[in-house]
């Protein structure tokens, strides 16, 4: 039996800072629909699943060709880690699964060819796990006793001379189903795949994040 590559979009209903954000219209369609449509454009993905506890999200998913995994309320709390929902999803799917692509609904904008590129890298190099990162260009520091202590630079240092640091941007995660069942979305040897793109700055938690994403859709979205 063929082992499948699936996409899972975790999208719980509760959101305190931006209520109902996963079905809030962004660019004239529900936020979660951006990730569903992105996944469905790739023929190496056998099935697209949405894991949710919200009936409104379920309705959007089903109407747009995604399969729904009803998430138990105990796995949809504010402090429940994402991997709990992903594990539950895998255990709910009867077909044998090899690869799991995780697309966060809160990262609705992704470069058009990014998933093709990262999946090619993942398969050609027989990786156990891969996730996307972006290079940091900001000067960070700590505040101790009301004093600012530079962290990743020296006072007067040019931004272009900063030590290279990266942040996990949340655009794409790929890993083996067996690794997730062992407790890893990113395995210890996971490859950080660098994506320096304006879309990597979008991670929607607040209305300001939402407004920024709306601006990018109107002015920068790749057709």
Tally of domains in the chain = 1
Within 10 angstroms of residue 187's Cβ, the number of other Cβ atoms is 18
156 occurs within a structural domain: no
151 occurs within a structural domain: no
pLDDT band, very low/low/confident/very high, at 223 (cuts 50, 70, 90) = very low
66 occurs within a structural domain: yes
Rounded Cα distance, 17 and 210, in Å: 11
**pTM, full prediction:** 0.91
Rounded Cα distance, 13 and 80, in Å: 13
**Domain containing residue 60:** 4-132+168-219
Q: What is the domain-level CATH number for residue 44?
A: 3.90.550.10
> Mean pLDDT in the chain?
92
CB-hemisphere CA count at 13 Å for 62? 10
Rounded Cα distance, 205 and 107, in Å: 10
41 occurs within a structural domain: yes
152 occurs within a structural domain: no
pLDDT per residue over 165-209, tens digit each?
A: 999 999 999 999 999 999 999 999 999 999 999 999 999 999 999
3-state secondary structure the chain: CCCEEEEEEECCCCCCCCCCHHHCEECCEEHHHHHHHHHHCCCCCCEEEEEECCHHHHHHHHHCCCEEEECCHHHCCCCCCHHHHHHHHHHHCCCCEEEEEECCCCCCCCCCCHHHHHHHHHHHCCCCEEEEEEECCCCCEEEECCEEEECCCCCCCCHHHCCCCEEEEEEEEEEEHHHHHCCCCCCCCCEEEECCCHHHHCCCCCHHHHHHHHHHHHHCCCC
172 occurs within a structural domain: yes
Q: Which of 71-85, 107-121, 157-171 has the lowest mean pLDDT?
A: 71-85
The mean pLDDT of 149-157, rounded to a whole number, is 89
195 occurs within a structural domain: yes
11 occurs within a structural domain: yes
């Amino acid at each position: 039996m063929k082992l499948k590559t699936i996409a899972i979009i975790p999208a719980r209903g509760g959101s305190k800072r931006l209520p109902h954000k996963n079905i809030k219209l962004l660019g004239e369609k529900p936020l979660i629909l951006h990730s569903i449509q992105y996944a469905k454009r790739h023929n190496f993905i056998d099935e697209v699943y949405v894991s949710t506890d919200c009936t409104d999200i379920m309705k959007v998913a089903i109407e747009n060709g995604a399969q729904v995994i009803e998430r138990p309320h105990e796995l949809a709390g504010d402090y429940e880690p994402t991997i709990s929902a992903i594990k539950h999803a895998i255990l709910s799917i009867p077909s044998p699964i090899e690869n799991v692509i995780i697309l966060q609904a809160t990262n609705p904008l992704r470069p058009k060819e990014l998933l093709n590129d990262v999946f090619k890298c993942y398969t050609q190099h027989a990786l156990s796990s891969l996730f996307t990162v972006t290079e940091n260009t900001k000067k960070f520091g700590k505040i101790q006793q009301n004093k600012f202590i530079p962290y990743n630079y020296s006072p007067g240092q040019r931004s272009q001379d900063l030590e290279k640091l990266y942040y996990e941007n949340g655009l794409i995660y790929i890993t083996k189903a067996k690794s997730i069942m062992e407790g890893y979305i990113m395995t210890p040897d996971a490859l950080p795949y660098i994506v320096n793109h304006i879309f990597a700055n979008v991670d929607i938690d607040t209305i300001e994040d939402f407004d920024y994403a709306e601006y990018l859709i109107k002015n920068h979205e790749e057709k």
